[in-house]
Homo-oligomer: A and B are copies of this chain.
Amino acid sequence: MLGSVPETEAARLCYEGGADVVQLRMKDTDGGEMLRLAKEMERIANEHNKFFIVNDRIDIAMLAHADGVHLGQSDIPLEDARRLVGDDMIIGISVDNAEQARAAVEGGADYVAVGSVFSTPTKPDAAQALGLGAVYEVKKAIGGAVPLVAIGGINRGNILDVVHAGADGVAVVSAIMAQPDIRKAAHELKTMILNDRRTRL
């Protein structure tokens, strides 16, 4: 449970609000419960023709037939992960800087996630916020090779700054999950990005 909404219901609301991807991240949950949730969330993702990604646990991602797995710099290395999941599964890699981003792209990552861009209450152990400069630097390093997702402290007030710095997508927790209406919060962020794109066409 995140707040008062079960994970599966929250995922459904996010997809309905316009999220393209939902990631399941549970650091202190047993494998059995995480797999049960992952299978349910994959089913919900399929119903909405959206993506579902599992954090860290490659075994659970594979068993749930998730679209992908997300790995941090201290998780199972990309090369090992690719050997296990094959070429069809998405692998996303968290990066702090241009060097890690280039390594991820060269190693076959399907997207990179830069963060934490801003400070955030959901990862109190996260290193100091990287700032928008990191998004810009990573974008410059990888160009359009793979999508760049920005994460960490992103909300209505700064989301367009993040997009303008080079993010192809943004990942949020509090900005949606801590809101009274999850679907509406997702929809508002998605609309801000789409309207901004339209303006810049």
Point out the residues of chain B lying under 8 angstroms from A60, CB to CB. Answer: 76
Interface contact A63-B35, CB-CB below 8 Å: no
Looking at A31, A32, A33, A73, the one whose CB has the most chain B CB atoms below 10 A away is: A31
Point out the residues of chain B lying under 8 angstroms from A139, CB to CB. Answer: none
The DSSP consensus for interface residues of chain A is helix
Top 6 nearest A-B pairs (CB, nearest first) are A58-B59, A30-B74, A59-B59, A31-B75, A31-B76, A32-B74
Of B32, B59, B72, B73, the contact of A57 (CB 8 Å cutoff): B59
Point out the residues of chain B lying under 8 angstroms from A30, CB to CB. Answer: 72, 74-75
Interface residues on A, range: 20 to 34
A37-58 contacts to B, CB under 8 A, are 56-58
Point out the residues of chain B lying under 8 angstroms from A76, CB to CB. Answer: 31-32, 35, 59-60, 63
Point out the residues of chain B lying under 8 angstroms from A71, CB to CB. Answer: 31
Copies of the protein in its oligomer = 2
Interface contact A84-B59, CB-CB below 8 Å: yes
A62 close to B (CB within 8 Å): yes
Once bound together, how far apart are the Cα atoms of A56 and B58, in whole Å?
12
A53-103 contacts to B, CB under 8 A, are 56-60, 62-63, 71-77, 80, 83-84
Minimum C-beta distance from A112 to chain B (A): 17
A4-55 contacts to B, CB under 8 A, are 30-33, 35
